[in-house]
Amino acid sequence: MNDFDFLTGTWNVANRWRTDFLDETSEWEEFPAVSRASRHFEGGANFDEIEFPTKGFTGLTLRLYDTEREQWSLYWSSSRTGKLFPPVIGRFTGGRGEFYGDDTHAGKEVRVRFVWSGATEDSARWEQAFSTDEGETWTTNWIMDLTRS
């Protein structure tokens, strides 16, 4: 239940995302961010706000742990849309968290995968990938490398 406790605090974030989230050959664009995360429900909930100063928007993530299913639901919202996106659901195993869900991007249905890995006291990595073939193949389209501020 305390899988996201490592994230509590302030982080500098080095972002890379593809200029086209569905095209694995598109260019990578790099930009900074700052994330501030807090722990709630004795570790069963986590909330963060991330600012992308060069992009002109912010994002929010709410993470909730379902004690019966022993899995997390992660909900994302962006100031660009003001919408709460469908959750990705999963768990940590051996220090790696994998979370899956369904959404749409650019009018296409996509399977979404978030991966948290390499979490230490001072660093972590988050990756997002989309699949347009129900998980047969994945295009990693956003990577965040976090460093404790």
Closest CA to 141 of 119, 122, 115, 123: 115
- 17-53 pLDDT, tens digit per residue, is 999 999 999 999 999 999 999 999 999 999 999 999 9
Alpha-carbon distance of 119 to 19, in angstroms, equals 27
Distance CA 96, CA 115 (A): 7
pLDDT computed for residue 90 by the predictor? 98
pLDDT confidence of residue 1 = 84
CA 26, CA 39: separation in Å to the nearest integer? Answer: 36
CATH number at residue 37: 2.40.128.20
Checking if the pLDDT of 6 tops 90, the result is yes
Q: What is the per-residue burial (b if ≥16 Cβ within 10 Å, else e) of 117-137?
A: eebeeeebebbbbbbeeeeee
> What pLDDT shows up at residue 12?
98
Percentage of the chain modeled with pLDDT above 70: 100
Structure tokens at 8: 């509590």
Count of structural domains, the chain: 1
Model pLDDT for residues 71-129, shown as the tens digit of each residue: 999 999 999 999 999 999 999 999 999 999 999 998 999 999 999 999 999 999 999 99
Residue 74: its pLDDT value, please? 98
Q: So what's the pLDDT on residue 58?
A: 98
Under 8 Å CB-to-CB from 51, ≥6 apart: which residues?
33, 34, 35, 58
Return d(Cα 55, Cα 51) in angstroms, integer. Answer: 9
**Enclosing domain of residue 123:** 5-148
DSSP 3-state of 14: strand
Give the dihedral sign, CA 88/117/78/75: positive
